[in-house]
Structure 1
């Protein structure tokens, strides 16, 4: 299921074994399946994408840092 949302607070992801990276505030496209949510965004000339566990995505939505229409 694909939807759009807005990052309005601190949302982070960990790429592999690396350090946490913050997703910039602004619009995101969100693709979900039963295990994870993939967020994709544009920040200036940079395009980003991150897959996060569905439980983390739901927690971010409940906390209000990812706003859904």
Structure 2
């Protein structure tokens, strides 16, 4: 299921064993599955970003108001 949302604040993801990377503030698409939540956004006109978060981390960002789901 895909939802629209907006990032408001410091939201990060960690690719593999790397350092946390910030997701830019602004509109995102959220796709949920049983084991992860995928966030997608536009960086520039022809460049897209994507990150998979564990459900617990995504839910904490929503609870903290850093990701706001559109109804």
Task: Please classify the TM superposition score into its range, dividing by the shorter chain length.
Answer: over 0.9
Q: Which runs of 4+ in 1 moved over 2 A?
A: none
Q: TM-score if structure 2 supplies the norm length? A: 0.92
Give the TM-score normalised by structure 1.
0.94
Task: Return 5+ residue gaps in structure 1 as ranges.
Answer: none
How many Å apart are 1:31 and its aligned residue? 0.3
Paired position in structure 2 for 1:58: 59
- Residues 13-69 of structure 1: CA distance to partner in whole angstroms, max 9, x if unpaired? 000011100000000010001111000000224311000000100000000000011
Between the two proteins, the alignment pairs up a number of residues equal to 69
Q: What is the root-mean-square deviation of aligned Cα atoms in Å?
A: 0.8
**Can you give the 5+ residue segments of structure 2 that lack an aligned partner in the other structure?**
none
The equivalent of 2:38 in structure 1 is 38
